[in-house]
A and B are shown apart, each in its own frame.
Chain A
Amino acid sequence: MPAKQTQQVNFRYTVQAGVGIRAVEQVPLDGIISSVCFHFPPGAMGWVQVAFGHGSKQIMPIAGFLQLDDATPVFPTAEVVHRNEDIWVIIRNTDAINPHTVSIMVNMDGD
Protein backbone atom coordinates (compact mmCIF):
# COMPACT_ATOMS: atom_id res chain seq x y z
CA MET A 1 0.00 0.00 0.00
CA PRO A 2 1.70 3.21 -1.08
CA ALA A 3 1.99 6.13 1.31
CA LYS A 4 -0.82 8.64 0.99
CA GLN A 5 1.24 11.74 1.54
CA THR A 6 4.71 13.15 1.84
CA GLN A 7 5.55 15.90 4.27
CA GLN A 8 8.73 17.84 4.80
CA VAL A 9 9.87 19.59 7.94
CA ASN A 10 12.71 22.05 7.57
CA PHE A 11 14.91 23.19 10.43
CA ARG A 12 17.01 26.18 9.42
CA TYR A 13 18.81 28.21 12.03
CA THR A 14 21.60 30.73 12.17
CA VAL A 15 23.50 29.77 15.27
CA GLN A 16 25.73 32.36 16.88
CA ALA A 17 29.28 31.55 17.95
CA GLY A 18 29.44 29.54 21.15
CA VAL A 19 25.71 28.78 21.16
CA GLY A 20 23.78 25.52 21.03
CA ILE A 21 20.20 25.15 19.82
CA ARG A 22 17.66 22.41 20.43
CA ALA A 23 14.64 22.80 18.17
CA VAL A 24 11.57 20.59 18.28
CA GLU A 25 8.79 20.11 15.71
CA GLN A 26 5.89 17.69 15.62
CA VAL A 27 5.44 14.85 13.16
CA PRO A 28 2.47 15.73 10.88
CA LEU A 29 1.53 12.15 9.94
CA ASP A 30 1.71 8.44 10.81
CA GLY A 31 4.40 6.81 8.73
CA ILE A 32 8.13 6.79 8.28
CA ILE A 33 10.96 9.26 8.03
CA SER A 34 12.15 8.48 4.50
CA SER A 35 15.24 10.67 4.41
CA VAL A 36 17.10 13.37 6.29
CA CYS A 37 19.21 15.98 4.53
CA PHE A 38 21.83 18.00 6.39
CA HIS A 39 23.29 21.19 4.96
CA PHE A 40 26.59 22.43 6.36
CA PRO A 41 27.59 25.81 4.92
CA PRO A 42 31.08 26.57 3.64
CA GLY A 43 33.11 27.98 6.49
CA ALA A 44 31.71 25.73 9.19
CA MET A 45 35.06 23.90 9.00
CA GLY A 46 33.85 21.07 11.19
CA TRP A 47 33.09 23.34 14.15
CA VAL A 48 29.31 22.97 13.86
CA GLN A 49 27.84 19.84 15.40
CA VAL A 50 24.44 18.54 14.33
CA ALA A 51 22.30 15.66 15.53
CA PHE A 52 18.74 14.60 14.66
CA GLY A 53 16.25 12.33 16.37
CA HIS A 54 12.63 11.68 17.29
CA GLY A 55 11.06 11.13 20.69
CA SER A 56 13.84 10.06 23.05
CA LYS A 57 15.88 8.42 20.28
CA GLN A 58 18.75 9.96 18.37
CA ILE A 59 18.96 8.45 14.88
CA MET A 60 21.37 10.60 12.89
CA PRO A 61 24.05 9.97 13.73
CA ILE A 62 23.23 7.13 16.08
CA ALA A 63 25.56 8.72 18.62
CA GLY A 64 27.65 11.87 18.77
CA PHE A 65 27.40 14.59 16.12
CA LEU A 66 27.87 15.21 12.41
CA GLN A 67 30.54 17.86 11.82
CA LEU A 68 31.07 18.76 8.15
CA ASP A 69 32.00 21.72 5.94
CA ASP A 70 30.35 22.82 2.68
CA ALA A 71 28.43 19.56 2.40
CA THR A 72 24.82 18.49 1.95
CA PRO A 73 24.51 14.77 2.54
CA VAL A 74 21.13 13.01 2.32
CA PHE A 75 20.64 9.90 4.43
CA PRO A 76 17.76 7.58 3.45
CA THR A 77 16.00 5.84 6.30
CA ALA A 78 12.73 4.06 7.16
CA GLU A 79 12.31 5.12 10.78
CA VAL A 80 8.72 4.67 11.97
CA VAL A 81 7.14 7.78 13.50
CA HIS A 82 3.70 8.67 14.77
CA ARG A 83 1.58 11.78 14.39
CA ASN A 84 2.34 14.54 16.94
CA GLU A 85 5.51 12.80 18.06
CA ASP A 86 8.47 15.14 18.56
CA ILE A 87 11.28 15.35 16.02
CA TRP A 88 14.25 17.40 17.07
CA VAL A 89 17.62 18.71 16.05
CA ILE A 90 20.57 19.81 18.11
CA ILE A 91 22.94 22.30 16.51
CA ARG A 92 26.04 23.31 18.46
CA ASN A 93 28.24 26.04 17.03
CA THR A 94 31.64 25.60 18.66
CA ASP A 95 33.20 28.20 16.36
CA ALA A 96 34.60 30.93 18.60
CA ILE A 97 33.86 33.82 16.21
CA ASN A 98 31.54 33.09 13.30
CA PRO A 99 27.81 32.37 13.23
CA HIS A 100 26.77 29.57 10.87
CA THR A 101 23.45 28.79 9.22
CA VAL A 102 22.59 25.11 9.14
CA SER A 103 19.58 23.40 7.57
CA ILE A 104 18.13 19.97 8.30
CA MET A 105 15.33 18.80 6.00
CA VAL A 106 13.28 15.83 7.14
CA ASN A 107 11.13 13.97 4.58
CA MET A 108 8.29 11.82 5.84
CA ASP A 109 5.88 9.46 4.05
CA GLY A 110 2.68 8.13 5.55
CA ASP A 111 -1.02 8.62 6.14
Chain B
Amino acid sequence: MPIVETYPVVVEGIGRVDYSNAVEITTEPVITSWQNVFTFSELVAPIPAGGSLAVNMPIPSDLVVIIYDYFASIPANRLIRLVVAMVDPAGPVITVLDELAYQTVSIHLLRGKTFVGSIRYTLYNYAATPETGMRIGAAGIYTTEDQFTLHISP
Protein backbone atom coordinates (compact mmCIF):
# COMPACT_ATOMS: atom_id res chain seq x y z
CA MET B 1 0.00 0.00 0.00
CA PRO B 2 1.33 3.43 -0.81
CA ILE B 3 2.06 5.92 1.94
CA VAL B 4 0.08 9.06 1.23
CA GLU B 5 0.53 12.36 3.03
CA THR B 6 -1.51 15.45 2.32
CA TYR B 7 -0.77 19.05 3.12
CA PRO B 8 -2.20 22.45 2.19
CA VAL B 9 -0.78 24.38 -0.74
CA VAL B 10 -1.17 28.01 -1.75
CA VAL B 11 -3.79 28.35 -4.47
CA GLU B 12 -2.75 30.25 -7.56
CA GLY B 13 -5.77 30.28 -9.90
CA ILE B 14 -8.98 28.62 -11.04
CA GLY B 15 -9.09 25.84 -13.61
CA ARG B 16 -12.08 24.04 -15.01
CA VAL B 17 -14.06 21.07 -13.75
CA ASP B 18 -12.73 17.82 -15.18
CA TYR B 19 -15.87 16.51 -16.82
CA SER B 20 -14.10 13.34 -17.94
CA ASN B 21 -13.54 12.21 -14.35
CA ALA B 22 -15.60 9.17 -13.36
CA VAL B 23 -18.25 9.68 -16.02
CA GLU B 24 -17.34 6.60 -18.02
CA ILE B 25 -20.24 4.47 -16.80
CA THR B 26 -22.84 7.18 -17.17
CA THR B 27 -22.22 8.25 -20.74
CA GLU B 28 -23.97 6.52 -23.58
CA PRO B 29 -23.52 7.45 -27.20
CA VAL B 30 -26.59 9.02 -28.75
CA ILE B 31 -26.71 8.31 -32.44
CA THR B 32 -28.43 11.03 -34.38
CA SER B 33 -29.01 11.06 -38.08
CA TRP B 34 -30.89 13.08 -40.60
CA GLN B 35 -31.98 9.78 -42.14
CA ASN B 36 -34.67 7.48 -40.80
CA VAL B 37 -35.53 3.92 -41.67
CA PHE B 38 -38.52 3.54 -43.96
CA THR B 39 -40.43 0.27 -44.14
CA PHE B 40 -43.74 -0.60 -45.71
CA SER B 41 -45.68 -3.83 -45.69
CA GLU B 42 -49.25 -4.56 -46.62
CA LEU B 43 -51.58 -7.39 -47.59
CA VAL B 44 -53.12 -6.51 -50.93
CA ALA B 45 -56.30 -8.48 -51.48
CA PRO B 46 -58.35 -9.50 -53.18
CA ILE B 47 -56.93 -9.04 -56.64
CA PRO B 48 -59.58 -10.04 -59.18
CA ALA B 49 -58.88 -12.89 -61.62
CA GLY B 50 -56.96 -11.51 -64.60
CA GLY B 51 -57.06 -8.05 -63.04
CA SER B 52 -55.06 -5.64 -60.94
CA LEU B 53 -55.21 -3.69 -57.71
CA ALA B 54 -53.40 -0.46 -56.83
CA VAL B 55 -52.27 0.68 -53.39
CA ASN B 56 -51.36 4.31 -52.82
CA MET B 57 -49.03 5.31 -50.01
CA PRO B 58 -48.99 9.11 -49.59
CA ILE B 59 -45.73 10.75 -48.48
CA PRO B 60 -45.95 13.87 -46.28
CA SER B 61 -45.16 16.96 -48.29
CA ASP B 62 -41.91 17.81 -46.51
CA LEU B 63 -40.39 14.31 -46.74
CA VAL B 64 -38.48 12.38 -49.37
CA VAL B 65 -38.45 8.58 -49.41
CA ILE B 66 -35.64 6.59 -50.98
CA ILE B 67 -36.40 2.88 -51.45
CA TYR B 68 -33.77 0.21 -52.04
CA ASP B 69 -35.71 -3.04 -51.55
CA TYR B 70 -39.03 -4.08 -53.10
CA PHE B 71 -40.97 -7.23 -52.49
CA ALA B 72 -44.23 -8.87 -53.57
CA SER B 73 -45.22 -12.46 -52.98
CA ILE B 74 -48.14 -14.86 -53.09
CA PRO B 75 -48.38 -18.30 -51.48
CA ALA B 76 -48.59 -20.14 -54.80
CA ASN B 77 -46.38 -20.61 -57.83
CA ARG B 78 -48.28 -18.34 -60.20
CA LEU B 79 -47.30 -15.41 -62.38
CA ILE B 80 -47.52 -11.98 -60.69
CA ARG B 81 -46.44 -8.49 -61.67
CA LEU B 82 -45.38 -5.58 -59.51
CA VAL B 83 -45.40 -2.03 -60.85
CA VAL B 84 -44.11 0.75 -58.61
CA ALA B 85 -44.77 4.33 -59.61
CA MET B 86 -44.26 7.77 -58.14
CA VAL B 87 -47.41 9.87 -58.21
CA ASP B 88 -46.46 13.51 -57.90
CA PRO B 89 -49.59 15.64 -57.42
CA ALA B 90 -47.97 18.41 -59.42
CA GLY B 91 -46.62 16.19 -62.16
CA PRO B 92 -47.04 12.99 -64.14
CA VAL B 93 -47.07 9.43 -62.85
CA ILE B 94 -43.56 8.05 -63.22
CA THR B 95 -43.13 4.30 -63.37
CA VAL B 96 -40.04 3.34 -61.42
CA LEU B 97 -40.22 -0.46 -61.54
CA ASP B 98 -42.13 -3.02 -63.59
CA GLU B 99 -41.26 -6.61 -62.84
CA LEU B 100 -42.83 -9.97 -63.65
CA ALA B 101 -42.04 -13.17 -61.75
CA TYR B 102 -43.51 -16.43 -60.56
CA GLN B 103 -44.70 -16.33 -56.94
CA THR B 104 -42.19 -13.73 -55.71
CA VAL B 105 -40.86 -10.44 -57.02
CA SER B 106 -37.81 -9.42 -55.04
CA ILE B 107 -35.68 -6.45 -56.09
CA HIS B 108 -32.64 -5.08 -54.25
CA LEU B 109 -31.10 -1.93 -55.66
CA LEU B 110 -27.66 -0.56 -54.85
CA ARG B 111 -28.87 2.94 -55.60
CA GLY B 112 -32.31 3.67 -54.25
CA LYS B 113 -35.21 5.22 -56.10
CA THR B 114 -36.43 8.59 -54.86
CA PHE B 115 -40.10 9.26 -54.17
CA VAL B 116 -42.05 12.40 -53.36
CA GLY B 117 -45.82 12.89 -53.38
CA SER B 118 -47.00 9.30 -53.07
CA ILE B 119 -45.95 5.79 -54.00
CA ARG B 120 -48.32 3.63 -56.01
CA TYR B 121 -47.91 -0.14 -55.98
CA THR B 122 -49.96 -1.88 -58.67
CA LEU B 123 -50.31 -5.67 -58.46
CA TYR B 124 -51.43 -7.86 -61.32
CA ASN B 125 -53.00 -11.29 -61.00
CA TYR B 126 -52.85 -13.40 -64.17
CA ALA B 127 -54.60 -16.44 -62.70
CA ALA B 128 -58.16 -17.49 -63.42
CA THR B 129 -59.09 -17.13 -59.75
CA PRO B 130 -58.94 -14.08 -57.42
CA GLU B 131 -55.71 -13.70 -55.46
CA THR B 132 -56.26 -13.21 -51.73
CA GLY B 133 -52.74 -13.65 -50.32
CA MET B 134 -50.63 -11.02 -52.07
CA ARG B 135 -48.24 -9.34 -49.64
CA ILE B 136 -46.01 -6.46 -50.65
CA GLY B 137 -43.16 -4.74 -48.87
CA ALA B 138 -40.58 -2.02 -49.31
CA ALA B 139 -37.60 -0.77 -47.31
CA GLY B 140 -35.33 2.23 -47.49
CA ILE B 141 -34.83 5.56 -45.80
CA TYR B 142 -36.73 8.78 -45.48
CA THR B 143 -35.44 12.24 -44.85
CA THR B 144 -36.69 15.81 -44.89
CA GLU B 145 -36.73 17.59 -48.20
CA ASP B 146 -34.22 20.15 -46.91
CA GLN B 147 -31.73 17.51 -45.85
CA PHE B 148 -32.26 15.62 -49.09
CA THR B 149 -31.39 18.73 -51.07
CA LEU B 150 -28.40 19.38 -48.84
CA HIS B 151 -26.89 15.89 -48.63
CA ILE B 152 -28.09 13.60 -51.39
CA SER B 153 -29.27 15.27 -54.54
CA PRO B 154 -26.48 16.42 -56.86
The finding on whether chains A and B are genuine partners in a shared complex, rather than unrelated, reads: yes
Contacts A20-B9, A94-B9 given; indicate if A42 touches B20 (C-beta within 8 A). Answer: yes
CB–CB B3/A24 < 8 A:
yes
CB–CB B16/A43 < 8 A:
yes
* Interface residues on chain B, number (Cβ under 8 Å): 21
B24 at the interface (CB under 8 A from A): no
CB–CB B18/A94 < 8 A:
no
CB–CB A19/B6 < 8 A:
yes
Contacting A at CB under 8 A, from B1-47, are 2-22
Give Cα A19 to B20, complex, Å. Answer: 21
CB–CB A42/B2 < 8 A:
no
CB–CB A45/B13 < 8 A:
yes
Give Cα A11 to B1, complex, Å. Answer: 11
Q: Which of A29-37, A77-85, A96-104 contacts B (4 or more CB under 8 A)?
A: A96-104
CB–CB A47/B12 < 8 A:
yes
Interface string of A3-41 (1 = CB under 8 A from B): 000000001011001111111110000000000000001
Contacts A18-B11, A94-B10 given; indicate if A101 touches B5 (C-beta within 8 A). Answer: no
A44 at the interface (CB under 8 A from B): yes
Q: Give me the interface of A with B, judged by CB distance under 8 Å.
A: 11, 13-14, 17-25, 41-48, 69, 92-101
Q: Give me the interface of B with A, judged by CB distance under 8 Å.
A: 2-22
Besides A41-B21, A98-B18, 5 other A-B contacts (C-beta < 8 A): A22-B4, A23-B5, A92-B9, A94-B13, A98-B17
